[in-house]
Structure 1
């Protein structure tokens, strides 16, 4: 029992040292005026939809003429689509569908990209705005004509083209055939399968079908329309709709290639169907 006071003293000294060290650390961590940082908020979407199930069979039947007449087994194969090869399905997924009919071939592809910012000071949404803006700038959209809008005044917050000056397309270049339909004789006109420089007879004009910013699709969107001539016998039109909703960017491409080389795909039809699908995909994100 004689050793008890010494043991108590040693224990007291140990507690005192430990207590003093803890107090010092606490004082260091709580210096007045120390800067505090908070990470930018994450994006709204943490996952992506299943790309090959993002378009309903009913919609595919409408977008891919001739698919409804196929035998059931072939029809199911067409509607199943072909998934895109990606290395991170949490960040990017896609799918492609194609059908051929006596009048020509149609194909559709969708791509979903979930943008993630690795900079704690930049939110996922802000990073997605940057990515979307680069895509729109790369599309090189023509300048909007005075007074022309897509169902109202475009939201130009993410639109580099809002301040860019439009340049006429160069023959044989990226803009050749863009937004207009050149017939076999080089002239444009609705009889060539698309639009002319005036009224097309259905209330639309060539100007209203030009590649443009869309003001009523997601947070920001644009439409591109490109007529491609591959040699002297084949030509196809691809309408692309790209939109951003929060931190996800969606790109859909709808392509038509008539069986006859003298026919030109109808720009108005393809644009209307592509935009309708875009609205359906946006609604799917809000469900």
Structure 2
């Protein structure tokens, strides 16, 4: 049988065509819309995605404060509690939420002859749906909004060198960076409950700048602040102490207040603030475990 003749030129043409086809397939599968390597582009996109927060679930709010803490914050003025009454008071009442992995809360109340005390706890897990913003960053934004809404004084002090002096030569009142503080001090001198029992007002704790004034808190989660307001209504007076702190992508809001029908005896800031701050520290430690 005669052998077929071998044509070197034809073989070269076939090989070149196969090589071109393979190159075209490879290029089409790896080139991205910007002309770069598609696989490396996907990796770069993934690396630019914001990181999720530390917390993916939330604990049961009513079970967070210890029983001894609740007894201290909800005193009975010597009143004896039955086992059933104690269970009802200290168990708390859980808030109704639609997603307990995103928000939980609880409320406690105890009425006594000396007044009524309320404790509320709200815990929010923040999730950012923006790929360019992490859960922690979004939680920080929400926390800052709460801090600004409460008008917590900034921890940044004005530089003495920027304060105008009496020899500046201004013909009118010079804009003084400390004027806001002076106005606050003047307002504080009038920060007493309204004389008329029909009035209703909310005033911050007295002595702005003092140790009990609304302020930022150090050593509480990633950031925290305390607000203190004295509120007078027709039915009486109450002081509300609120502590808000953030840890990673979780924001905790704790409100502790004391009500009294006797407007001549105002609830004290020191006790309420100390107990609220102590519970906040307990909660922050528990969340960090």
Say yes or no: TM over 0.5. yes
Q: Is the Cα contact below 8 Å between 2:128 and 2:134 reproduced in 1?
A: yes
TM-score by length of 1: 0.72
Q: Is the Cα contact below 8 Å between 2:94 and 2:106 reproduced in 1?
A: yes
Aligned to 2:270: 268
Structure 1: gaps spanning 5 or more residues: 1-15, 148-164, 181-196, 198-204
3-state SS in 1 of match to 2:89:
helix
Q: Distance in 1 between matches of 2:55 and 2:155?
A: 32
Does the C-alpha gap of structure 1 residues 220 and 266 become closer, same or farther in structure 2, counting only changes over 3 Å?
same
3-state SS in 2 of match to 1:208:
coil
Does residue 89 of structure 1 match 2:96? no
Q: Is the Cα contact below 8 Å between 2:139 and 2:250 reproduced in 1?
A: yes
The offset of 1:91, in angstroms, is 0.7
Number of positions where the alignment pairs a residue of Structure 1 with one of Structure 2:
234
Does the C-alpha gap of structure 1 residues 236 and 41 become closer, same or farther in structure 2, counting only changes over 3 Å?
same
The offset of 1:23, in angstroms, is 3.0
Q: Is the Cα contact below 8 Å between 2:243 and 2:280 reproduced in 1?
A: yes
Picking from 31, 53, 73, the partner of 1:43 is 53
Structure 2: gaps spanning 5 or more residues: 1-18, 159-179
Aligned to 1:153: none
The offset of 1:260, in angstroms, is 2.6
Q: Distance in 2 between matches of 1:63 and 1:21?
A: 75
Aligned to 1:282: 284
Does the C-alpha gap of structure 1 residues 206 and 262 become closer, same or farther in structure 2, counting only changes over 3 Å?
farther
Does residue 57 of structure 1 match 2:59? no
Aligned to 1:11: none
Picking from 107, 125, 140, the partner of 1:129 is 140
Q: For 1:122-181, what per-residue CA distance to the aligned partner results, in whole angstroms no more than 9, with x for missing partners? A: 10000011000000000012456969xxxxxxxxxxxxxxxxx5563597799843112x
The root-mean-square deviation of aligned C-alpha atoms, in Å, is 3.4
Q: How does 1:1-287 map to 2 (within 5 A)?
A: 23-29=26-32, 31-32=35-36, 35=41, 36-37=44-45, 38-66=48-76, 69-142=80-153, 168=184, 176-180=202-206, 207-231=210-234, 233-287=235-289
